[in-house]
Structure 1
Amino acid sequence: MAVPVTFTLPQGLNASAPPERRGIRRDHVRLMISDRQTGKTVHTRFYQLARYLRPGDVIVLNTSRTVPAVLQASWMREESVLSTATEIRLAHRYDEENWDAMVVAEGVRAGDRFHFSPSLFATVVAVREQSPLLRLRFSLRGSDLYEQIYALGEPVRYEYIKQPWDLDYYQTVYASVPGSVELPSAGRAFSWEILLQLQKKGVQIAYLILHTGLSYLLDDRFKMKPEENCEQFVISPETAQVINRAKQAGHRIIAVGTTVVRALESAALSDGTCLAKQGWTCLHIDEHTSLKIADGLMTGFHEPEASHLDLLSAFVSPPLLTGMYREAIQERYLWHEFGDIHLII
């Protein structure tokens, strides 16, 4: 049975605005560095990161770009209009024209249509029992569909975010491939200056893609376990080669985000070799998981009872992790996608 990571998060530590709107650069957020073995911590700022990494280390970044996943639509059944303003939250891109999505309304049936604009509608092709997610087939596909989503949608915003922020605040500087419905936030603090500093020191930068899914379904009746929250990923031959050469030379692989850990460990052989691979991962990582590739993790701070804490427990024992989190609270670190950063290494 898993040992829980127990702490109470004060409301005042929820970061409700991007750092840039709090008067600091994105790479000047605070950085807490924790030793996996001892739990000892160092407190610094993110722009000092290069001081704490070694030549030969590999930083692995997720280049998935955040899409504005909250859309408004008219709900049609045959020729009847059931609603002129129904909220739809995209959850996972299935293929070029199909998405799993959550409709914030009751009674949706297969065959219903949602009209978003004169040039875009979607048809419900599958409704699932015991799940708020359904499958939508859009009238456009590929880049044409993304163009409409970017024109019409808004970023997913949770209750601790008190006002809307532009989509640009929900992107990492290196994001390039649209597909995440929530910001892969562990990499948000990186600037091009920091990446250049790391490369000058001899730290290698590798990239993969994992498109994040919708993590909160608005109703506590519906909580997806990690193994039910499958996400699409791509690891290129170039990235696999960089990782494998570094591992063979005894260097550390540092995953930037739980998304990156999930992708890497889904492509790992038992001997620690990273495969070039693409597909879907439903991997659940917890304290009983023997990590094959990732040696360190850079991440934000996660809420009590979040499944992300299970994954962090694969890097550091739950008692030590509890101590780290209580220290972060005592030191007034900020939580969530606009908050501070935690490096476990």
Structure 2
Amino acid sequence: MKTSDFAYDLPLELIAQSPTERRDESRLLVVDDLNELRDSHFYNLPEFLRPGDTLVLNDTKVMPARLIGTRAGMQRPVEVLLLKRINATDWQCLVNPGRRLKVGSKITFLPGELSAEILDYSDDGSRIVHFEFQGVWEEILDKAGTMPLPPYIHEKLKDQNRYQTVYAKEEGSAAAPTAGLHFTKELLQKLADMDILPVYLTLHVGLGTFRPVKVENVEEHHMHTEYYVMPEKTAEIINARKAAGGRTIAVGTTSCRVLETVADEQGKVRAQHGDTSIFIYPGYRFKIVDGMITNFHLPESTLMMLVSALAGKAEIFAAYDHAIKERYRFYSFGDAMLIHRQDMHDFKNK
């Protein structure tokens, strides 16, 4: 299986540069039949789900993870993106310009308050960075850092909270779980009132989610680990509702990856926490996930491969062709897709 098999052409004007005025006013493409695609809006999501379904959402919160500093002898600003915390002072980071920042390089962000030194680097482009700071780390980060919007977004975000879900709680991500950006508190309550129950887990989005695939043979790609938590209460609810005949709908690829990490071969999930490097691509047999709410993903990405594994590659490409023709908005601030079947038995393992 080749990485180029997951390429497609997208007109640049379809890359959403800002969110819709209201979160749930985004469009929703429903993939619910082998031969039918339905155009709708996200506020109509309850029409396509049913009582007994469980929505599994990722409650991670995006950090102000983008730091801009200076290095002695360099005129160009230095950018450091926090990815994963190692201990109280050290982080896995992406740095730019990478070639100029060797081991031992020192960077100043806030004179007298926040500085850093490159400790180590690896072939994947990430660095281990040691931070020196005065005061409480979270307060310093709020002061020095900014929201790390993806590089394809060129407009300034007016409201920083629009790059957070309304249920964001556990700080630690370098990027938002964007499928969840469409939900409002009112919509979540409406779903709960219909016995379409939202439950929460955590995966801190880091290098594993958005690192590009650089090998042509898909099977040779290495996913980097990301930290997750499956709470005991969430696991109990998912198992009980699944046993009662309800479907488990992952909200986003991050929730999907956690669910499939913690599920056993009998389709039961267990409470646990740790790091996951699960890589899902066509041929994978899903153990627990019955459907997914997701955004439209970059070509040749691991996320494109994951949704193709769930719905079928031909079906996903047909849906993307339709979305481009109908002028859907793509990527982080773009529109959404619901992938599901009334009977998931033949759908999951295409």
Compute the TM-score of the two structures, normalised by the length of structure 2.
0.88
How many Å separate the matches in 1 of 2:269 and 2:133?
36
Counterpart code for 1:127: Y
Checking the alignment, whether the CA contact within 8 Å between 1:5 and 1:319 is kept in structure 2 is: no
Q: Which residue is equivalent to 1:174?
A: 167
* Offset at residue 29 of structure 1 (A): 0.7
Cα 1:217–1:51 change in 2 (3 A) is closer
Checking the alignment, whether the CA contact within 8 Å between 1:16 and 1:338 is kept in structure 2 is: yes
Counterpart code for 2:306: L
Say which of 13, 26, 29 aligns to 1:32: 29
Q: Which residue is equivalent to 1:119?
A: 113
How many Å separate the matches in 2 of 1:95 and 1:269?
31
Q: Which residue is equivalent to 2:279?
A: 284
For residues 1-345 of structure 1, the aligned pairs below 5 Å read 1=1, 4-20=5-21, 25-35=22-32, 38-75=34-71, 82=74, 85-105=77-97, 106-117=99-110, 118-128=112-122, 130-140=123-133, 144-165=136-157, 166-214=159-207, 227-345=222-340
Cα 1:314–1:15 change in 2 (3 A) is same
* Offset at residue 161 of structure 1 (A): 1.7
How many Å separate the matches in 1 of 2:6 and 2:142?
38
How many Å separate the matches in 2 of 1:7 and 1:202?
38
* Offset at residue 247 of structure 1 (A): 1.4
Cα 1:63–1:96 change in 2 (3 A) is farther
Checking the alignment, whether the CA contact within 8 Å between 1:68 and 1:167 is kept in structure 2 is: no
How many Å separate the matches in 1 of 2:35 and 2:258?
26
Partner deviation per Cα, 1:57-116 (whole Å, 9 max, x = no partner): 00011010111221112326xxxx556731112222334432111111223233333222
Checking the alignment, whether the CA contact within 8 Å between 2:213 and 2:221 is kept in structure 1 is: no
Range 148-157 or range 236-245, more displaced: 148-157
* Offset at residue 28 of structure 1 (A): 0.9
**Please, which runs of 5 or more residues in structure 1 have no aligned partner?**
none
Q: CA RMSD in A?
A: 2.4
* Offset at residue 17 of structure 1 (A): 1.2
Counterpart code for 1:298: I
Q: Tell me the secondary structure at the aligned position of residue 198 of structure 1.
A: helix
Q: Tell me the secondary structure at the aligned position of residue 138 of structure 2.
A: helix
Q: Tell me the secondary structure at the aligned position of residue 288 of structure 1.
A: coil
Checking the alignment, whether the CA contact within 8 Å between 1:112 and 1:124 is kept in structure 2 is: yes
Partner deviation per Cα, 1:142-191 (whole Å, 9 max, x = no partner): x9222222221122233432222142121011001111111110000100
Partner deviation per Cα, 1:102-146 (whole Å, 9 max, x = no partner): 111223233333222222222322222x232111122359x9222
Cα 1:127–1:304 change in 2 (3 A) is closer
Checking the alignment, whether the CA contact within 8 Å between 2:54 and 2:249 is kept in structure 1 is: yes
Q: Which residue is equivalent to 2:345?
A: none
Checking the alignment, whether the CA contact within 8 Å between 1:58 and 1:246 is kept in structure 2 is: yes
Checking the alignment, whether the CA contact within 8 Å between 2:62 and 2:176 is kept in structure 1 is: yes
Counterpart code for 2:192: Q
How many aligned positions are there? 332
How many Å separate the matches in 2 of 1:244 and 1:218?
34
Cα 1:229–1:173 change in 2 (3 A) is same
Q: Tell me the secondary structure at the aligned position of residue 249 of structure 2.
A: strand
Q: Tell me the secondary structure at the aligned position of residue 38 of structure 2.
A: strand
* Offset at residue 227 of structure 1 (A): 3.3
How many Å separate the matches in 1 of 2:251 and 2:138?
26
Counterpart code for 1:315: L
Cα 1:213–1:39 change in 2 (3 A) is farther
Counterpart code for 1:178: E
